[in-house]
Amino acid sequence: MLTLFDHRQLQELGITVEQVEQQLNRFRQGFPFLPITAPATPGNGIIQFSKEEQALLLQRFDQWGGSRLKFVPASGAATRMFKALFEYLETGKKGSDVDEFFAGLKDFAFYEDLRKIITKDAAEDDSEWVKALLDVDGLNYGNLPKGLLKFHAYPDGARTAFEEHLVEAALYAKDSAGVARLHFTVSPEHRKGFEALLDEVQQRYEQAYGVKYEVSFSEQKKATDTIAVDLQNEPFRNADGSLLFRPGGHGALLENLNEMQEDIVFIKNIDNITPDKLRADTIHWKKVLAGYLLQLREQIAKYIRELEKGCSDIKLKEIAQFLEKEFCITLPEVKGEEYARTLYAKLNRPIRVCGMVKNEGEPGGGPFIARNADGSLSLQIAESVQIDLQDPEAQRHFKAATHFNPVDLVCSFRDYHGGRYLLPDFRDLATGFISQKSKDGRLLKALELPGLWNGAMSNWNTVFVEVPLITFNPVKTINDLLRKEHQEM
């Protein structure tokens, strides 16, 4: 039972009682597994473009004059990047990861900053170097978001991940007026840090790349937080009796994405960025994906208008074949007028074109063909926790997957009239996650909303395109910055 105090708390957060009740029911009932029917592979759900096709699509995008935006989830803390270093400070034991860190210390982009603050006496003690890097009275890297860390060194100075996204946006997200628009989702405590860095570097990059930046920031909305429960699925309460709400995961950013107004939106994580020497492939493929999105959107608009006027059976069959060929959508068993309405509904949705790389052991989601609640089939990005690996057939499909989701998306929210789709209308609420956490020494269950590129986009028209592995360069640990892909020189 919710108390009067609880109702006031919900009102302050912008969360309804109905939302809380739905979330509590999810804890009690759990989430169903995603019924995958096959992995998406080249020739069966993943497109491989020839060089000639790439050239045409790139040209199509370069000739397009519409508005575009780069959307970068950037609220993630860098703390986990330094797990091995924190353990070293706690235990005094180095291990292979710490040894690798010190062996490559001079190759990190932040080395010169570190060297300036380390005293001569402290320089003889390895732990002092780590403290200077992580502690608040040093570089404070242990408490900053990834976007504010220096990733790459250049002759004229080092760049943070945030700055590298500015550079990248100037090369493919600049419109015909020379304006590059970027939006970063950040945590409240670090917003001022991002804004200060932007003030410091904006003019320099504008002059260097002949571009005008329009950069905006937003924070995950408190109304997207989800209630936590105890192990008996009853609301978890803080020491003062208030309900505990936790961030709903990156799926909560759907609300932020829904506020973007541009014709197409590029989505890429803050830590997946390359130095200048490797940027050409990224720029090329971003434009290819966007060119294909524009081609699909034009064809969809044409078919929708024909459906509104009335179509022959031959035309209906052509549209069904288009859905199956481009999006792997196989329709449920419907006939007559319902058949045309179903085709219309499947066409009239947001679109995303997703780059996929060959899987070389990276953890995370992958591309699959899955069965929807209405009986149709479609392409979905699924995490391993969404798949019933105890089921032999599902396990076989999972093991047969060849590609990995690097979060490399180009999206369109515009409908065929030029209006905008309401993105929450196209998510699948049955695709969230439940995990076990703790607070104040007590175990609890936490609920994550449908992932931004998983269930939050479940009912979008989805295309998977194979892109080169070189376009995927994430930084999950500090030593990833020592890989040759992140060393400019």
Alpha-carbon distance of 270 to 72, in angstroms, equals 6
pLDDT at 418: 87
Q: How far apart are the first and last CA of the chain?
A: 62
Q: Where are the domains of the chain?
A: 4-78+147-486, 80-143
Secondary structure of 151-213 in the HEC alphabet? EEEECCEEEEHHHHHHHHHHHHCECCCCEEEEEEECCHHHHHHHHHHHHHHHHHHHHHHCCEE
Strand 442-448 to strand 41-42: parallel, antiparallel, or no bridges (unpaired)? Answer: unpaired
Residue 468 zone, left/alpha/beta (φ > 0; ψ -120 to 50; rest): beta
Alpha-carbon distance of 17 to 19, in angstroms, equals 5
**Angle between helix 51-62 and 279-309 (nearest 10):** 80
CB 54 within 8 A of CB 284: yes
Q: What is the pTM of this model?
A: 0.94
Give the tokens for residue 182: 């970027």
Amino acid of residue 269:
N
pLDDT tens-place string over residues 398-445: 999 999 999 999 999 999 888 999 999 999 989 988 989 999 899 999
Q: Average pLDDT over the chain, rounded to whole? A: 94
Q: Which residues of 186-312 form beta strands (DSSP E)?
A: 212-218, 226-227, 245-246, 264-268
Per DSSP, the residues of 31-99 read -PPP-EEEE-EETBEEE---HHHHHHHHHHHHT----EEEEEE---BSGGGGHHHHHHHHH---HHHHH
Strand 461-466 to strand 351-358: parallel, antiparallel, or no bridges (unpaired)? Answer: parallel
pLDDT tens-place string over residues 136-149: 999 999 999 999 99
Strand 36-39 to strand 212-218: parallel, antiparallel, or no bridges (unpaired)? Answer: unpaired
85: confidence class by pLDDT, cuts 50, 70, 90: very high
pLDDT at 374: 87
CATH architecture of 4-78+147-486: Alpha-Beta Complex (3.90)
pLDDT at 210: 97
Across residues 280-303, what is the average pLDDT?
Answer: 97
Amino acid of residue 70:
K
DSSP bridge pairs for 403: 358
- What percent of the chain has pLDDT above 90? 89
Please give the distance of CA 454 from its chain centroid, rounded to a whole number. Answer: 9
Alpha-carbon distance of 12 to 123, in angstroms, equals 50
Q: Which residue has the tokens 């070293």?
A: 88
pLDDT tens-place string over residues 157-200: 999 999 999 999 999 999 999 999 999 999 999 999 999 999 99
For residue 489, pLDDT over 70 is answered with: no
363: confidence class by pLDDT, cuts 50, 70, 90: low
> Buried b vs exposed e over 463-481: b needs ≥16 C-beta within 10 Å?
bbbbbebebbbbbebbbeb
